[in-house]
Amino acid sequence: LFYSRSSRTLISPLFFAPFFLLLIFHPTMSSSTPTCPSPTTIPLPNGSAMPAVGFGCWKLSSPASIVEAAVAAGWRHFDSACDYGNEEAVGEGLRLGMAKAGVGRDDMFITSKLWNTYHRPEHVEEACRRSLKDLGLDYLDLYLIHFPISLKHVPMSTRYPPEWTHDPDGDNVMVPDDGVTIAETWSAMEALVEKGLVKNIGVANFPAALLLELLKTAKVKPAVNQIELHPHLSQRRLVDFCKAKGIAVTGFSPLGSGSYVELSMDQGRGVGLLKDPAVLSIASKHGKTPAQVLLRWGVQRGNAVIPKTSSAARLAENLDVFGFELEEEDMEALYGLNLNARYNDPGVFCKGMGGDYPIWD
């Protein structure tokens, strides 16, 4: 018996039995029941929502047809860039796909990126408008500074996209532009928001030190930091830092080294994670593919992921990552694969073009 001081009566333990049963059996209160809590969208500071799984448009074969098929398969977030050299084709795929699927522009989330040669304030709007024209859009949902690396301007009439080296037909080396700061570039990015050309602005490939400097002068806080993220490069401290500052994180190359094989940038690992015994074991346990496990690991961390594929057969698979939950031991096993292996590192690949940009050192 229990004594109730408020009513000054004795209460039988049987009185509490229904509440104990509720705790044990109610599906939303039992700790043993998977709840798959990862949101399907990531909130951004201006109140908009970014789909947690996006379609990466880098190195696509037949970009127009695969993007059209992706829209039909339910993809609503597309990640593009001037430097990918395919925004016209991506735009055509979006136009055809949206028309056939009956999808409106407000249902889509489209990202593009400012290339390194357009960092001077007088070139930022021109670059943004060119991406809008090629994509066939009136506005972007997100526009990112692609790298914290400023290069000498190349007029669009000379070459577009400009790529990394200033004169590919000449000495074929990178030429830096040391006369512009990230703060100046960011101020021009903020002006794009004011003009209604973009809804959100952010950065890519920014370490914490550069974010701290940017936040000192930014009037509009970066909405997103897009960085390389996969179990071989978990970047836990940077992800935690971004979240503490209210900056959402998007992980590119979420499947690891596979995208870099043809570029000889995979560090000899081939498809790597997709054949890792730990990933295969977790995939078998949940009845999922290795790719789904890797993507689920990313979104379950609270990040967005942007896998790419040129295979129509993979479209539904890569989008289907919200119907299961990785257990804590699964997450930790994947964290345990961390090698600090960065496959997209300008501190490495720029050396062959006469540049020295160890932004992650």
**Orientation of helix 328-335 relative to helix 290-300, angle to 10°:** 100
Catalytic residue among 84, 118, 143, 357: 84
Per residue, the 3-state secondary structure of the chain, as one string, reads: CEEECCCCEEECHHHHHHHHHHHHHCCCCCCCCCCCCCCCEEECCCCCEEECECEECCCCCCHHHHHHHHHHCCCCEEECCHHHCCHHHHHHHHHHHHHHHCCCHHHCEEEEEECHHHCCHHHHHHHHHHHHHHHCCCCECEEEECCCCCECCCCCCCCCCCCCCCCCCCCCCCCECCCCCHHHHHHHHHHHHHCCCECCEEEECCCHHHHHHHHHHCCCCCCEEEEECECCECCHHHHHHHHHCCCEEEEECCCCHHHHCCCCCCCCCCCHHHHCHHHHHHHHHHCCCHHHHHHHHHHHCCCEEECCCCCHHHHHHHHCCCCCCCCHHHHHHHHCCCCCCCCCCHHHHHHHHCCCCCCCC
How far from 166 is each of 176, 281, 345, CA to CA, in Å? Answer: 9, 47, 19
Assess whether 84 carries a catalytic annotation: yes
Q: With beta carbons less than 8 A apart as the criterion, state whether 115 and 93 touch.
A: no
Q: Is 282 exposed, middle or buried (0-12, 13-18, 19+ CB in 10 A)?
A: buried
Residues annotated as catalytic (active site), given as ranges: 84
